[in-house]
Structure 1
């Protein structure tokens, strides 16, 4: 059968091929002339759409994919937000939300009444369109690695506020126009929204934690996430607000369950940026009609008023926010760029208003709440604001990203941190690799080493094949998070000797060992570890027994011995614990004596982490903590080599305690690098995600000395 080609294209294969070509080449071509790729997709959609050369209709397929892309943008914004910073900066988000809602509402209402000569309901509805905005530039900002900047954080929080209020205004205006605004209307609206918010924020995390504990299949986990996104969107619409609010809250609800370094997060971002979000941007472009510039002067007038008022109002909101919180000019650009783009809620409001008929003209034509001039003007406003938002956000994001990179200390060596993960059990590979990715710094993606040791006394090659199979699985797990792992296959008669040799040969700084989920930690294991590795390899060593996935842990209880801050490896292990909390969103609870807690709190005060501390001096009372242990807790014990400053004789009883009282729970033992180390490390407390060995050991000694002098003062 011959392929028939007619315009607009109707063959689904041709349509999908054309869209993929646009997604592939539009950003490449336009980036050469410094046009952001997001804007490139919108322009491409306008060219091939029904109001351009009419290659593709904006049919139900485009609308469905575009809706999914819009929800994806809002979901990612909720998923990637730093919840600790979000809570810390909630007041700033509220202030910005008030600015970016009230200023457009005021200017928009006045412009509608006195410039466009519209009625009060129409003017208020028009103003609500200016107040809302869509985070179209968010993927661009996220790609530059500054999604956790405070300016981004409060803008995302403010988006939730202003979009919710704008959509509530839409619901009220529609209700007033149709005569439905009664006491019952307000009660029903309040109850529905409250019930919706509580359901998503309280029930979704419980469902998610239950699912992730029982199903580890990557496809099932991704489909589950999509189900939760669209379920949240449906619940939002049932509550009387737009679906984008539900998608955003779904992201917040699942935030702690999807670590930023996890394979699942990598899949979510990849599919969204490759398929869903480009479909949405192309669909927005298809709404743009350039012909109105030449056909109707009234439309041009309305469009100019809308563009000027919307852009000015959003700039003023960003400017007031900058002055209120003493932000930089680039942070103001970032706020303005993220909040200026009009698309999702604006389209929803204009289409609803356009479809409401309030009467008829003498000629029998319908009188609409929002007329065709406003509808066309809205499309032009979307084009203009998305263009401005893309350029401004890109400029601000580039400058901030450059500034952050320049603030890093010049002596940091990205290739210095080397994490070794010996693996022998195929069932524990995923958890060990994910732990290694979670605790390591982000400056280098190829500093992971997976080691499999084969007994060189065997005469067959069965061990070789099994070892290579295990290494291959480790490589696949790491690559799913966009990290590279270096495979090491070693032949040795002793596992301990093999590990020690690789540590020295590869200059390893950190060692991660795993315990089988169904087995405990024996005295002989700890004895062999102490004699064979800890005394011969003075590096930070983590021993991990996962009873449940790391991303389902709610709290990490860290038991810190007295004088732990005097250990050479103190900066290294505490930074790794911080990385666990930073990448998973779990809470940290430190147990130590007052002197050690004070030292930790001084350092932690500079971090955006959810941390609490409790005084704990006597390790003989360790079992008392077992009573406070919850189902989704992880116990982290900071141990010591014998005869070191932080050693406690109770540590010899740890295997017995763990096997008897913590057998069904997750726990982690950390042996820091201690005095006499062959390898030392430095932590940059201004940028604690970065670890790098120093060339000389005495440099770290000076750093620790300065910290103690500050503490004693």
Structure 2
């Protein structure tokens, strides 16, 4: 690695304090700056990562520290998606989710097959893996959609369920193609993959809730509970890799496993969302931006040609899938656009598949150059796909979600009424304060004017310590 000395400073920055400070400044500054010009700040974090990364001004290297925090952010996105999904609505919409997943997997995959085999001239194995890149999607905007209060909207639930199915299918395609390049696809391979997946699902969805319920009942320390949640995320991700699929599937299933055990308005949920949205998810967005190299698109037309095919297959396929879903399920136009926006972003599974395919060397040319399963043009094209798909996903999703949220407020009784409810909580005992507050938050309605009032009754016959105790509880 080449270092450029500037006084006592060298580029890329290797001082851990200075690196972390610069990343925090980016995380702090991007939302403040871009909110003023109506640009989604997640897009700003990706662009900032490109500018400070190895392919920009090279202020920061994409080293192990960036990869670890970025990976945690990616797992966090999938975990939150599984954690916040309403299981009742998901069960009601499961057939709709399967219909959407069929559209959003098959249509981009078919366009990829045509583009890879007939336009770009790839061989069959490369074409199949190339096509699978466009079927998966990353819920990069989900944390911001959730903040708007529409996580129970049918379009959101349908997209969440479809994401699980399409990501699993695309990553299974990756596993099969890799196995075929190594020549070991047979009855044993399919048996091992099937048994591994079944055992993984059973362990995470049946054993994890039992362990979590036991832990939460016996450990009341909030910090320990949060660390336990992180352990569950990484353990499920590790089990997914052992089963033969990507870690992001494990994180999503971990969210499903803990879904009923972490109430949406609990202090633990608040901590999970706060740390993820404040640190881990922004670090992931910055790490994605560090992969972008704008210079490769000026070195020749071949990369631009591959990128064009990828953009048409991925974004065009997702749009057609969203339209087919909207018409089949009779959703509104805004809900159809929200599905399109949420499913457009390609980052996690796409990047994982590209890196695996790029690292597989099939043979060598006469000059000793490696012949890869996915060449460098696909690698560079995937980076452009990640950037453009995230841009489109950000603008379309947030705009559609905003219109849906405004329509929901107008169509609800609370949206047309100025009457607010007032909830009175008894706070005589300090050990029950947190439970009473959580109960109040659960029953509180949506209007911002709804208030919680605390009450502690003091017996005048008791001494002054009772008054001080009441003041301590109420504050």
Structure-2 separation of matches of 1:390 and 1:239: 33
CA displacement at 1:293 relative to structure 2:
1.8
Which ranges of structure 1 fall in alignment gaps of 5 or more residues?
A: 473-713
Structure-2 separation of matches of 1:82 and 1:186: 33
Structure 1's 411 and 316: CA in aligned 2 closer, same or farther, altered over 3 A?
A: closer
2:466 is equivalent to residue 467 of structure 1: no
2:143 maps to what in 1? 139
- Output aligned runs, 1:544-559, within 5 Å: none
1:369 maps to what in 2? 373
Does the 8 Å CA contact 1:133/1:341 hold for their aligned counterparts? yes
- Output aligned runs, 1:571-650, within 5 Å: none
Which of 336, 343, 348 is the aligned partner of 1:339? 343
Describe the SS at the equivalent of 2:229: helix
Structure-2 separation of matches of 1:463 and 1:237: 57
Structure-2 separation of matches of 1:28 and 1:425: 42
2:287 is equivalent to residue 283 of structure 1: yes
Describe the SS at the equivalent of 2:185: coil
Structure-1 separation of matches of 2:251 and 2:39: 29
Describe the SS at the equivalent of 2:458: strand
Which structure: larger Rg? Answer: 1
2:156 is equivalent to residue 155 of structure 1: no
2:3 maps to what in 1? none
Does the 8 Å CA contact 2:263/2:269 hold for their aligned counterparts? yes
Which of 270, 273, 276 is the aligned partner of 1:272? 276
1:91 maps to what in 2? 95
Which structure: greater strand fraction? 1
Structure-1 separation of matches of 2:453 and 2:122: 67
Does the 8 Å CA contact 1:107/1:313 hold for their aligned counterparts? yes
Does the 8 Å CA contact 1:414/1:444 hold for their aligned counterparts? no
2:80 is equivalent to residue 76 of structure 1: yes
Structure-1 separation of matches of 2:80 and 2:341: 18
2:226 maps to what in 1? 222
TM-score under structure 2 length normalisation: 0.97
2:31 is equivalent to residue 27 of structure 1: yes
2:458 is equivalent to residue 449 of structure 1: no
Structure-2 separation of matches of 1:327 and 1:411: 22
Structure-2 separation of matches of 1:428 and 1:335: 42
Structure-1 separation of matches of 2:400 and 2:420: 31
1:571-606: CA deviations, max 9, x gaps?
xxxxxxxxxxxxxxxxxxxxxxxxxxxxxxxxxxxx
TM-score under structure 1 length normalisation: 0.65
1:301 maps to what in 2? 305
Does the 8 Å CA contact 1:415/1:444 hold for their aligned counterparts? no
1:423 maps to what in 2? 427
Does the 8 Å CA contact 1:228/1:250 hold for their aligned counterparts? yes
2:438 is equivalent to residue 434 of structure 1: yes
Describe the SS at the equivalent of 1:309: helix
Describe the SS at the equivalent of 1:348: helix
2:103 is equivalent to residue 66 of structure 1: no
Structure-2 separation of matches of 1:432 and 1:391: 40
2:382 is equivalent to residue 378 of structure 1: yes
Describe the SS at the equivalent of 2:454: strand
Which of 411, 429, 437 is the aligned partner of 1:407? 411
1:204-240: CA deviations, max 9, x gaps?
1111111111111111111111111111100000000
Which of 392, 395, 416 is the aligned partner of 2:396? 392
Which ranges of structure 2 fall in alignment gaps of 5 or more residues?
A: 1-6
Structure-2 separation of matches of 1:211 and 1:413: 43
Structure-1 separation of matches of 2:36 and 2:431: 48
CA displacement at 1:118 relative to structure 2:
0.4
Describe the SS at the equivalent of 2:413: coil
- Output aligned runs, 1:481-560, within 5 Å: none
Structure-2 separation of matches of 1:91 and 1:270: 33
Structure-1 separation of matches of 2:256 and 2:147: 20
2:195 maps to what in 1? 191
Does the 8 Å CA contact 2:420/2:447 hold for their aligned counterparts? no
CA displacement at 1:427 relative to structure 2:
2.1
1:254 maps to what in 2? 258
Structure-2 separation of matches of 1:399 and 1:424: 44
Does the 8 Å CA contact 2:338/2:397 hold for their aligned counterparts? yes
Q: 249-258 vs 294-303, which deviates more? A: 294-303
Describe the SS at the equivalent of 1:6: strand
CA displacement at 1:469 relative to structure 2:
1.9
Does the 8 Å CA contact 2:208/2:257 hold for their aligned counterparts? yes
CA displacement at 1:421 relative to structure 2:
1.5
1:46-65: CA deviations, max 9, x gaps?
11111001110000000000
Structure-2 separation of matches of 1:445 and 1:465: 30
Structure-1 separation of matches of 2:414 and 2:356: 56
Which of 36, 41, 53 is the aligned partner of 2:40? 36
Structure-1 separation of matches of 2:327 and 2:116: 29
Matched length = 470
CA displacement at 1:276 relative to structure 2:
0.4
CA displacement at 1:410 relative to structure 2:
7.0
Describe the SS at the equivalent of 1:318: helix
Structure-1 separation of matches of 2:369 and 2:391: 35
Does the 8 Å CA contact 1:69/1:272 hold for their aligned counterparts? yes
Does the 8 Å CA contact 1:333/1:395 hold for their aligned counterparts? no
Does the 8 Å CA contact 1:193/1:240 hold for their aligned counterparts? yes
Specify which structure has the bigger relative contact order, considering alpha-carbon pairs within 8 angstroms and separated by 6 or more residues: 2
2:171 is equivalent to residue 167 of structure 1: yes
CA displacement at 1:471 relative to structure 2:
1.7
CA displacement at 1:411 relative to structure 2:
7.9
Describe the SS at the equivalent of 2:362: strand
CA root-mean-square deviation: 1.4
Does the 8 Å CA contact 2:424/2:452 hold for their aligned counterparts? yes
Describe the SS at the equivalent of 2:457: strand
